Structure 1
Amino acid sequence: MNCISVDDLVNNLAALRLDSPMAIIGTKAGKIFDILAKKWGLSSKKITQYIDKDLEAITSSEGEKTEYNLIILLPDILAQIYQIEERYQKIVALAQKLRRDGRIVILVVDPGNLGLMERRWDDSIETRESRTQLAEVNWIKGIRHCESEGTTAIITRSELLLSFATANLTIEEEPLTKVNNYPSLGLQRFIARKELHSPYSNGQLYNLLVTLPEAYKEFVLSYITPGMEVLELGSGTGRFSLPLLEKGAKVTGIEIEERLLNEAKINLSQWLKKEKLELIHGDISLFDLKRQFDFAFLSGEILSYLPEVEKRHQFFQCVSAHLREKARLLIILDNPAIYMHRGYRRTRTRQRQLSDGSMLRITEDRAYDPVGMYQMGIEQYSISSEETFFQGSHSLKHGIILTDEIRLQAHLTGLKLVETYGNYQREKLLPSSDRAIYVLEKVP
């Protein structure tokens, strides 16, 4: 697409972290890389390793054997593939060429700007002469045509997100709720990552990363009485199911990660045999057990793992339907005021020594999106000792949930908010509180 200048493309890519080996794919790849190489401080010896990689050469079954840490697709690449099925196949093939923890960056033209494009006749940064050019857009066929550009495909957000999801890529950045920095051209940047490890699919790693403070256990157990039927939402490896069972509760746990569920079945096999425990593989917002409970709670801050408010509404509807009259639902979250008051971005590092003497180190880098009400970022972790070193990372997209949303969700689903606390000592919820704890009751 000649209407997009080199400097606009460079501005969209300059802030990216360089990962060698990489490939920039597109007709302007060489020129763009010359500029980026200077910004990134690359030596001339390295330049030939990266530029002008051909899409067919990379994605064909007999193509290059190189695995990439970073693949960048410029806007003209997918736009020249008119069939959506073929575009999907190319993205899947590119995903297979990524190393673990590698990223794919796709630049596309905002579909909303395809009908009226600003035509730039010179790609240099200094020249800004332009004229308006009308284009014919066929949304039924998914193509756009103009005299100078010819026919190009329309690439939508839903297409890319669906392609990423089915190609086992995790979305790291997408422009839906972000201010468009280049409104005259409407460039959109999508970044997806090939996960190195997910702590939620490895029981041993999950137990190390997801800790349950003693104060948390005491707080939850204060609501439990012997004989109570308890619904544990996000039961993980069953670590908290055990103290519930030991206090005399009959527990039903729901967990979406099958590996964690299987480990829980091994750890708690004696309770399964006694029929005091039932473990179910399922989504906490979409289940139907055809019975009701005396108490329900989310293990940890799992509600924030549902970033979309519609999904959270499904959760409240589903859980409310499984509660008896006056039964209670306990929700524990990070206090959203933390993110409001500390700015749009926060980075923190935690570390602790494990029982075998090795050191666990966790670094979180989170950004707050005030429009979409998300936390987005990366959590990196490493376990090191004198003999071994292990590291991994996973992307984050958590919802920011305000007290008013809890009240409204409760009102809409037959619940009412009866208790709010700012910590496990039941102190008042304040903007400075670390936690936001909500107790809801099923309305008769």
Structure 2
Amino acid sequence: MSDTAVEDLLRPLAPQVLAALVRRYGHFDTAEDAVQEGLLAAATQWPTEGVPDNPRAWLITVAARRLTDLLRNEQARRRREDTVARWALPEDWLTPPADRRQTDSDDTLVLLFMCCHPSLSPTSQVSLTLRAVGGLSTAEIARAFLVPEATMTKRIGRAKKSIKDSGVPFAPPSAADRDVRLAAVLHVLYLIFTEGYASTSGASLHRAELSTEAIRLTRLVHRLLPDDNEIAGLLALMLLTDARRPARTGLGGELIPMQEQDRTRWNTEAITEGVALITAALRRGVPGPYQLQAAIAALHDEAATYEATDWPQIMLLYERLLGIVDNPMVALNHAVAVAMARGPHAGLILVDELETDDRIADDHRLHAVRAHLLEMAGDSVAARDSYIRAAQRTTNIPTQRYLYARIAEIERVGDSW
């Protein structure tokens, strides 16, 4: 078996093994280290020796033995080695019955809830989720967020310590706490996807490994909680947005705006699945924020051309979304929809109002939208100034190059007057 095939097999197994160990022994931070050593052993041995008949049981056995060693060493220092030495691995872990599959899935969901514990910062929640549930190595996560591996190691270490210090049991959250914790889980998955689809910095417009992982994990949550409409909405939003990724960049990695994209390159299978998900969810009750965003994404994807986009409907959906969430990016997108439905000057009025919001006033996207609407309104001089401000504020190289290209085009046209 190739190294890539082994990696594909290990990734979904990692959270199952970690959840099994934490449920049995606790010690989240130490169990995570033991699982990583088990995965390393599998990645080393399986390509040459072959995959065992029961890969999950093999990993649990190796990781549990390593966990026992780690805990034994720790307890020895506290003179309690005899307690750990009596631990034994239950036989049913090695050959789990068929009805154990649901437990494995439930354990993975509990693990996801733990990684999104409210005691952690959003950054720590994202990092720990990618490590413990996503199965990404610390080096992979560090590369994705453009930080040194040592920095990410410390970040994940602090997150694991916070989980340990919080004393949170390995169990589903209480009924009273479930909705809040689930909202945190969905927010973390949304953040992972967003960073993957539109990277905040670096030489690439997107990081497919992050958006792909976010979709995989959201599929998992949807499979475990199929009746939750917001989970379905989030999965639909990811699929409908990611469907455009093949057309967002040119051969040199340059940014291609939606109005110039070759829509035949959009992923039709993802669009079909996303539309089906959001259509079913919207029929089941009052839509939440993710469902509304998915409905907007569906309108974009189903339009045959950019000009055929149903901007009035998108504008109304954004207005409904603004009635639920206080988010400046939603307000900025609403301004774009207003401009497309009612003209650039109507949109510019809303953009002007957003300049007083400290959460977005210095964001390059605000200035980029202003520049685009000024171009639409025919004010090239002011548009050029706004493009310059936008380019100076972004740390994503393809986005910066696109903005400078717009500046150069305005100057070229101006020179020809």
TM-score (norm 1): 0.24
TM-score (norm 2): 0.25
